[in-house]
Structure 1
Amino acid sequence: MTPGGGGGGPMKDCEYSQISTHSSSSPMESPHKKKKTASRRKWEVFPGRNKFFCNGRIMMARQTGVFYLTLLLILVTSGLFFAFDCPYLSDQITPAIPAVGAVLFFFVMGTLLRTSFSDPGVLPRATPDEAADLERQIDIANGSNSGGYRPPPRTKEVVINGQTVKLKYCFTCKIFRPPRASHCSLCDNCVERFDHHCPWVGNCVGKRNYRFFYMFILSLSFLTVFIFAFVITHVIHRSQKTGFLSALKDSPASVLEAVVCFFSVWSIVGLSGFHTYLISSNQTTNEDIKGSWSSKRGKENYNPYSYSNIFTNCCSALCGPLSPSLIDRRGFIQPDTPQPAAPSNGITMYGATQSQSNMAAATPLLQSEPSITSEELPLPGKTTISAPCATLTLGQPTPPSSMPNLTSETGLSDMIPLKEDPESHQFLTPEEAPSPPGMLPLGSPVTHSHTMHVLSLASQDSLHEDSVRGLVKLSSV
């Protein structure tokens, strides 16, 4: 088909109908619809060791057995109190007792579920591109331009309120952890303002749920003391009327409630007091255990996060704005977009770009050869080229100016330097030279009145292979 012929019109119409987006049956739309139906949410591919429920709305640690024990103890103890003690106390003393107990119970359950089901402040892991970029920055900062391996530094130093704070590098999340962040080995996540991993609530305690955790243990302390006090009141009030043994027989559940509350109240109240101290000094459990701001480390070592005021520290921990979640667990996964190649600055080359360019420059035989036009088909027995080489096609590398012109007077011996042998010199005669397949035998008359391509693509490949063999044979003699 000629470029200027009338056949170009139907082809253009055909191509236009193929890429038309107005047709509902276009093949371009079906993959798009499939991609929409196959979209997934981020919690489904979350790399940490967490469990998600209700389409990602609930986030918990993988080990939740102790959390169910906590839930069972609170529900059973409170249920027995409302079933066996509250009717008698409401009738004999005041109806405000069950009302206050109900308020404390619902507050404890609300704060417990809020602590257990929320994101504690998980930091997102670095993407492969971000991790590679960070490693390149570390390599450049270390001056490791050589090929040797040098591990990245584990710490960076920043100054916060005049105090030097070290930022550790997390080899799992591929990030430098922010101040006060730490990696939880159970959940396998870096958590912002990490306090500790609490198995009783089935989740980590961090920046986004610490206030709810503190309100949970504080309200649970009040509820435990409240139930224990009024269970004893109930037993004493009945004992004054019917005797102690009769009181225990009339309300056997009160004994179980008193035992559970007696052994749990000490740990719960003690935990509440410890976290009250941490909040008043604006510390975390992790920092207190490690002694990060202990005076034993030096006279100038102090807590840079403390406001030097108990009331201000408590307001900062309990009344500040709640930061949003950084992992967006219910968001949809965006399709991967092709990334542009990084520009080469002469320092580092990634991938096979540099090696391929060096190989192509070192082996010109691997490059595509231009088409050669000639008025006469060269015969296998000839040693000269009957016509000068045609002009190189567009896109081919320009030969250097030092290359001699290939004219009809140039001999094959001038083009191919032979390896000199001090003992003997053996040369191939034109008859011994390998003949490419598809060529006419010696002496066959060939006449051409028009310009034609010498070889087809398959013949060029065969000629290239035989030429390489001939060069090897010449160099070996």
Structure 2
Amino acid sequence: MSAVMITRKVRKWEKLPGKNTFCCDGRVMMARQKGVFYLTLFLIVGTCALFFAFECPYLAVHLSPAIPVFAALLFLFVMAMLLRTSFSDPGVLPRALPEEATFIEMEIEAANGNVPAGQRPPPRIRNVQINNQIVKLKYCYTCKIFRPPRASHCSICDNCVDRFDHHCPWVGNCVGKRNYRYFYLFTMSLSLLTIYIFTFDIVHVVMRSVDNGFLNTLKETPGTVLEVLVCFFTLWSVVGLTGFHTYLISLNQTTNEDIKGSWSGKNRVQNPYSHKNIIKNCCEVLCGPAYPSVLDRRGVMQEDSPVSATSAAPYSTSSSSSNPVPQTTKTTAPLIPNEHTPDDAKPSIAASAEKSPSPKEEHPPAPKVPPLASPETDAEASLTKDKTH
């Protein structure tokens, strides 16, 4: 069975390595493990739906109609920041091409020399200077690149991420250079929304308890009780997470660097990225320029895919029926120029005739036999002889 190579155009996101999921023709990029992300959506949407259904009608009449309006605006902002964090490229670095990887390997081997058998090769590290301080760039054996400063390889997404902070299952994506500010705004706005709902749940229960009693109020508003429980257990984790990242932003530090103790370990190496000023650090992290993606997910590339002869048969049949191609048979006999042959082709034909022996020349020539005389020829010969006599 023969195969036919067909060239087709594909998007680059279809051929990107790593463990990511792409939707909307490469516009949406997430991790493959999205179960906890759906739980996050369910908790936020479900809690807000209960609040708008049970508390907002009562509070809008007895307190102020601005309460549900502000809650709706805060809810929309939380959802926008969550989707922006979850559906964006966190700063994935492209892997080296085979030619680039081979060149880097040759450079490393030339720099390290031949390592004796039984000994471990030296670590693949390059040193760069940042703010008068030496920073080590580590080599990624998966991506075949020297990672930039503050980059790290995510084992869940199987990608190197620039300014890698951590992989957050609650948002279903890595948190890195391109989506960290949106992640921080999401945690901060979610903290405000949780506090807002929890506070007005308590106000709603207190106001109803004045008229109906505490137990009767709990029986009449079971949704409020569920909201209070969800907000109570969510409040500590979300507010604590927001406070922790506020601390990291004030130091211009990432979660990965804090866990590893990169700038607070035994070496007591100072953070070269810190401006020694809380306001400057916050402005750089939250108000810095928006970096474009280096993946070019929606770019177009050509791919050669083999197709079997059986699958290509319908296309060949239809093309042959519409545009018939004359079949030619190949013979070994030399070509003989005729009157329809172009003049510039006759020398080449003659040369090929001389090079290729004729089938007749392969056998010895047959002996010549004189032709038999016909009756008419004999009669003419006898008449001529009589006239001469």
TM-score between both structures, scaled by the size of structure 1: 0.61
1:259 aligned partner? 229
1:114 aligned partner? 84
Counterpart-to-counterpart distance in 1, 2:183 and 2:85: 6
Give the secondary-structure state (helix, strand or coil) at the position aligned to 1:297. Answer: coil
Counterpart-to-counterpart distance in 1, 2:44 and 2:35: 15
* Aligned match for 1:194, one of 153, 164, 171: 164
Q: Judging changes above 3 Å, is the alpha-carbon distance between structure 1 residues 315 and 292 closer, same or farther for their aligned structure 2 residues?
A: same
Give CA-to-partner distance per residue, 1:360-396, whole Å, 9 cap, x none: xxxxxxxxxxxxxxxxxxxxxxxxxxxxxxxxxxxxx
* Aligned match for 2:289, one of 321, 324, 331: 321
* Aligned match for 2:266, one of 297, 302, 322: 297
Stretches of structure 2 lacking an aligned partner (at least 5 in a row): 305-353, 356-389
- The answer to whether the Cα contact below 8 Å between 1:43 and 1:330 also exists between their aligned partners in 2 is yes
2:279 aligned partner? 311
| CA drift at 1:335 | 6.1
Is structure 2 residue 7 aligned with structure 1 residue 40? no
In structure 2, what residue type is equivalent to 1:257? E
In structure 2, what residue type is equivalent to 1:179? P
Which deviates further from its counterpart, 63-72 or 133-142?
A: 133-142
* Count of matched residue pairs: 303
Counterpart-to-counterpart distance in 2, 1:190 and 1:334: 25
Give the secondary-structure state (helix, strand or coil) at the position aligned to 2:44. Answer: helix
Counterpart-to-counterpart distance in 1, 2:134 and 2:167: 26
* Aligned match for 2:27, one of 57, 60, 68: 57
Stretches of structure 1 lacking an aligned partner (at least 5 in a row): 1-30, 337-451, 454-477
| CA drift at 1:143 | 3.9
Is structure 2 residue 212 aligned with structure 1 residue 242? yes
2:109 aligned partner? 139
Counterpart-to-counterpart distance in 1, 2:176 and 2:31: 13
Q: Judging changes above 3 Å, is the alpha-carbon distance between structure 1 residues 241 and 152 closer, same or farther for their aligned structure 2 residues?
A: same
Give CA-to-partner distance per residue, 1:292-323, whole Å, 9 cap, x none: 000x4235x10000011101100100111111
1:269 aligned partner? 239
Counterpart-to-counterpart distance in 2, 1:104 and 1:145: 61
Is structure 2 residue 188 aligned with structure 1 residue 218? yes
| CA drift at 1:151 | 5.2
Greater fraction of residues in helix: 2
Q: Judging changes above 3 Å, is the alpha-carbon distance between structure 1 residues 147 and 281 closer, same or farther for their aligned structure 2 residues?
A: closer
- The answer to whether the Cα contact below 8 Å between 2:20 and 2:32 also exists between their aligned partners in 1 is yes
Q: Judging changes above 3 Å, is the alpha-carbon distance between structure 1 residues 334 and 306 closer, same or farther for their aligned structure 2 residues?
A: farther
Counterpart-to-counterpart distance in 2, 1:55 and 1:220: 30
Counterpart-to-counterpart distance in 1, 2:183 and 2:59: 31
Matches within 5 A, 1:114-193: 114-144=84-114, 153-193=123-163
1:227 aligned partner? 197
Counterpart-to-counterpart distance in 2, 1:235 and 1:94: 16
| CA drift at 1:152 | 7.0
- The answer to whether the Cα contact below 8 Å between 2:89 and 2:178 also exists between their aligned partners in 1 is yes
- The answer to whether the Cα contact below 8 Å between 1:135 and 1:152 also exists between their aligned partners in 2 is no
Give the secondary-structure state (helix, strand or coil) at the position aligned to 2:74. Answer: helix
Give the secondary-structure state (helix, strand or coil) at the position aligned to 2:93. Answer: coil
Counterpart-to-counterpart distance in 1, 2:109 and 2:85: 41
Matches within 5 A, 1:204-215: 204-215=174-185
Give the secondary-structure state (helix, strand or coil) at the position aligned to 1:333. Answer: strand
Give the secondary-structure state (helix, strand or coil) at the position aligned to 1:201. Answer: coil
- The answer to whether the Cα contact below 8 Å between 1:139 and 1:152 also exists between their aligned partners in 2 is no
Give CA-to-partner distance per residue, 1:417-450, whole Å, 9 cap, x none: xxxxxxxxxxxxxxxxxxxxxxxxxxxxxxxxxx
Q: Judging changes above 3 Å, is the alpha-carbon distance between structure 1 residues 145 and 268 closer, same or farther for their aligned structure 2 residues?
A: closer
Give CA-to-partner distance per residue, 1:261-301, whole Å, 9 cap, x none: 0011001000000000000000000000111000x4235x1
Give the secondary-structure state (helix, strand or coil) at the position aligned to 2:10. Answer: coil
- The answer to whether the Cα contact below 8 Å between 1:144 and 1:150 also exists between their aligned partners in 2 is no
Give the secondary-structure state (helix, strand or coil) at the position aligned to 1:165. Answer: strand
Counterpart-to-counterpart distance in 2, 1:271 and 1:246: 36
Greater fraction of residues in strand: 2
1:345 aligned partner? none
Percent same amino acid at aligned positions?
Answer: 65
Give the secondary-structure state (helix, strand or coil) at the position aligned to 1:322. Answer: coil
Q: Judging changes above 3 Å, is the alpha-carbon distance between structure 1 residues 303 and 114 closer, same or farther for their aligned structure 2 residues?
A: same
Which deviates further from its counterpart, 240-249 or 202-211?
A: 240-249
CA RMSD of aligned residues (A): 2.3
Counterpart-to-counterpart distance in 1, 2:188 and 2:103: 45
- The answer to whether the Cα contact below 8 Å between 1:138 and 1:152 also exists between their aligned partners in 2 is no
- The answer to whether the Cα contact below 8 Å between 2:115 and 2:121 also exists between their aligned partners in 1 is no
- The answer to whether the Cα contact below 8 Å between 1:81 and 1:257 also exists between their aligned partners in 2 is yes
Which deviates further from its counterpart, 140-149 or 314-323?
A: 140-149
Give CA-to-partner distance per residue, 1:113-167, whole Å, 9 cap, x none: 0000000000000000110111112222234599999957422221211222111
1:471 aligned partner? none
Counterpart-to-counterpart distance in 2, 1:150 and 1:285: 31
Counterpart-to-counterpart distance in 1, 2:126 and 2:32: 32
Counterpart-to-counterpart distance in 2, 1:249 and 1:150: 70
2:44 aligned partner? 74
Counterpart-to-counterpart distance in 2, 1:123 and 1:150: 28
In structure 2, what residue type is equivalent to 1:259? L
Counterpart-to-counterpart distance in 2, 1:191 and 1:218: 23
TM-score between both structures, scaled by the size of structure 2: 0.74
Q: Judging changes above 3 Å, is the alpha-carbon distance between structure 1 residues 147 and 253 closer, same or farther for their aligned structure 2 residues?
A: closer
Give the secondary-structure state (helix, strand or coil) at the position aligned to 2:9. Answer: coil
Give CA-to-partner distance per residue, 1:227-256, whole Å, 9 cap, x none: 000000000000001111221122210000
Counterpart-to-counterpart distance in 2, 1:324 and 1:222: 30
